[in-house]
Structure 1
Amino acid sequence: MTSTLHIDNTVHDFDDWKAAFDQYGQFRADNGVRACRVGRVDGTPHRVLVDLDFDDRAAAEAFRTALATVLATPRSRAMVISHQAWLVDLVDERISAR
């Protein structure tokens, strides 16, 4: 079953944050991320939503722990105003036919 780590960040500057996020692509791959989606909340450009998909809950939990070390760096602390993360287990998925 796929598990998703849903992250809700508020950042000082989206472009700076996104450049830093992009530099961690190999870190995500090495730590089991199978897919990721980044979105911004309409009307709130400093709020960023990230969904990271994993093969299972254990991998998502391990990544959340590894992510804490990244968030503790001075660079991350300077960029991120607030951070919340939840583990979400996929229970249903439907893809519309076109």
Structure 2
Amino acid sequence: MNTKKIDELAKIIWDYHHVNHELKKADCIFVLCSNDVRVAEYATGLLLKDFAPKILFSGGSAHQNDLLATGWDIPEGRKLLLKINLRIQGKILFSAKSY
């Protein structure tokens, strides 16, 4: 497959996920956490820009003892909180478990 075709197919996926929505202020930012900490970082950036007064990180602890292991024994969102704790203390919520 050539590069142009790959770019075309990637754009279809991007357009589907991006859906060209304009960001609006909300009551809470709900973060579907993953093994990619950039998701939590982006959401926290929205919080710091006052898109919502609170943020809720879904999911439990990071992967342990598998190929996706992060070496963290706490959720990715909570790990991020440790970096920015003083700026947004009291605004972050965590779900206890992902299903």
Q: Where on the TM-score scale, by shorter chain, does this alignment land: which range?
A: under 0.3
Q: Give the structure, 1 or 2, with the largest relative contact order (CA under 8 Å, sep 6 or more).
A: 1
Larger Rg: 2
Task: Give the helix-richer structure, 1 or 2.
Answer: 2
TM-score normalized with structure 1 length = 0.26
More strand, by proportion: 1
